Structure 1
């Protein structure tokens, strides 16, 4: 769960699309980042951040770059202008911004990416994935984290988590494939009654056609996910690349480079093939739920 801590900030999906197109136009024109920097009277580092989607691109700067790259097609200019406006607007808008005081930058950025993604693959070795948590479970985890102090802050965070879950039953639902270790099912987060309800909720959510839940049992021994949880987000846009969010005790790291993302795809594939089948996983969850008695 992204909390208050150090992080490598992610780019936005639309910003990355725009930056990637600008890079391709620059390379097609045979120009270096130094030439592009001269056009904007900025540093080469800023051009790199623009092309990586790390910083927003103002329309005057966009047009200056496209002029330098000798891009004159009106349809291309109009399309990229719209893309820039959409990318910049998405950085500022979103229902989650009303909860700004209780959300770390990492979490706001994650929700913004989740809002435009169409599928998420996640491996969890400590917690039930956030999109599948009950309010009582969320509340217990939030209190234990000690990142939020007042009851009002805690309840606002719970509201955010519940609001995110609406995408699972939307008209165009988010696809979620979650693999978690068996230990997650035994940890009594919130006490036995809350945990039993959480496991029953997992079973109910697994019945949705867009949700797959698998359990990696203790008997599988050592596995690649023992080093920590992670999420893989995919997007419907053709030019959008997958991104990975990893978590550790001191912060969270976003990864976008193909080799790194490819490594986590392989990790997830190994986890899902090593885990129990979805049907076997549901049976295991039901059995363990009976063990959580007051």
Structure 2
């Protein structure tokens, strides 16, 4: 997978401007990110994400940072406060916010992180990744989840899933690498016709140069990465910390501590190494798709 530049959203540009200023002020104060995190009673990862423009800066956090950095200039405080408000307003205006009634906070965070990420690696045990799902497959998954009751809610959630997929088809598309347990191909979702169309769609997407799909066949047996689905998100800035999103029925969980993220990188490498090659994976996907036609 080759890195590409990802176009920044307006909120990201403003967030980076604010983050750059806060980084300079921290360094001028002679403080490390660890010391800054201690002052705010948060994680080092949060400070890094603020300085990289990846998360919104709450005004109380901004005030606490400036206090810790001993910034007494009212002009600086006013300018950075205005910048933070503009960046946060732009984030609230993201397309996903119109679907606020059907999106959990974690899922909204995931979409915003996708919007500014450079690459995503994912391991999936049972479901086709959302970025590769067809509308019919996504609708069947949404109905089965029982999290959304009315037809309107279900259709809105499917719309969100399809809108997310624009990150794979724009001028500077996201680098996407998916390792799928063979069960993803075999688990019937929505019936044979839906599965045939879904697998053929996934095969077409896998032909794109920035998308890699590998299948981990049943015959490979036990492996270190078989214990649940996750996404590993990477960002353009060299100094950025990768993030991991672990998926669970009771709520997804973000992991940001470097040692834990490094463990997920190792798990993903183990999974892709144990999998079929992309070419052989594509052949298997086509074969299973044909089985759904019989």
Deviation at 1:233, TM superposition (A): 0.5
The change in CA–CA distance for 1:224 and 1:22 in structure 2 (over 3 A counts) is farther
**Which residue of the partner structure matches residue 88 of structure 1?**
88
2:23 pairs, out of 17, 21, 24, with 21
Deviation at 1:87, TM superposition (A): 4.6
8 A Cα contact 1:33 1:47, kept in partner? no
Give the gaps of 5 or more residues in structure 1: 1-11, 38-43
Deviation at 1:65, TM superposition (A): 3.5
**Which residue of the partner structure matches residue 133 of structure 2?**
133
Deviation at 1:57, TM superposition (A): 3.9
CA deviations on 1:233-291 (whole Å, 9 max, x unpaired) are 11112332110000123221101110011000010011111100000000000111111
The change in CA–CA distance for 1:22 and 1:148 in structure 2 (over 3 A counts) is farther
CA deviations on 1:149-180 (whole Å, 9 max, x unpaired) are 00010000011100111111101111100000
Deviation at 1:126, TM superposition (A): 1.0
Structure 2 SS opposite 1:223: coil
Q: CA RMSD in A?
A: 3.6
**Which residue of the partner structure matches residue 190 of structure 1?**
190
Structure 1 SS opposite 2:244: strand
Deviation at 1:56, TM superposition (A): 2.2
> Counterparts of 1:127-166 in structure 2 under 5 Å?
127-166=127-166
**Which residue of the partner structure matches residue 175 of structure 1?**
175
Matched, 1:45 2:41: yes
Find the aligned partners of 1:193 and 1:141 in 2 and give their Cα distance.
15
**Which residue of the partner structure matches residue 228 of structure 1?**
228
TM-score of the pair, normalised by structure 2? 0.80
CA deviations on 1:81-113 (whole Å, 9 max, x unpaired) are 787456523542200000000111111110000
Find the aligned partners of 1:142 and 1:30 in 2 and give their Cα distance.
45
**Which residue of the partner structure matches residue 6 of structure 2?**
none
The change in CA–CA distance for 1:259 and 1:24 in structure 2 (over 3 A counts) is farther
**Which residue of the partner structure matches residue 289 of structure 2?**
289
TM-score of the pair, normalised by structure 1? 0.80
**Which residue of the partner structure matches residue 65 of structure 1?**
67
The change in CA–CA distance for 1:33 and 1:238 in structure 2 (over 3 A counts) is closer
Give the gaps of 5 or more residues in structure 2: 1-11
Find the aligned partners of 2:88 and 2:253 in 1 and give their Cα distance.
22
8 A Cα contact 2:178 2:214, kept in partner? yes
Aligned residue pairs, count:
272
Structure 2 SS opposite 1:227: coil
Find the aligned partners of 1:245 and 1:148 in 2 and give their Cα distance.
22
Structure 2 SS opposite 1:178: strand
CA deviations on 1:8-64 (whole Å, 9 max, x unpaired) are xxxx99589569837953871589969x96xxxxxx537989736477243972784
Structure 2 SS opposite 1:226: coil
8 A Cα contact 1:25 1:69, kept in partner? no
**Which residue of the partner structure matches residue 56 of structure 1?**
57
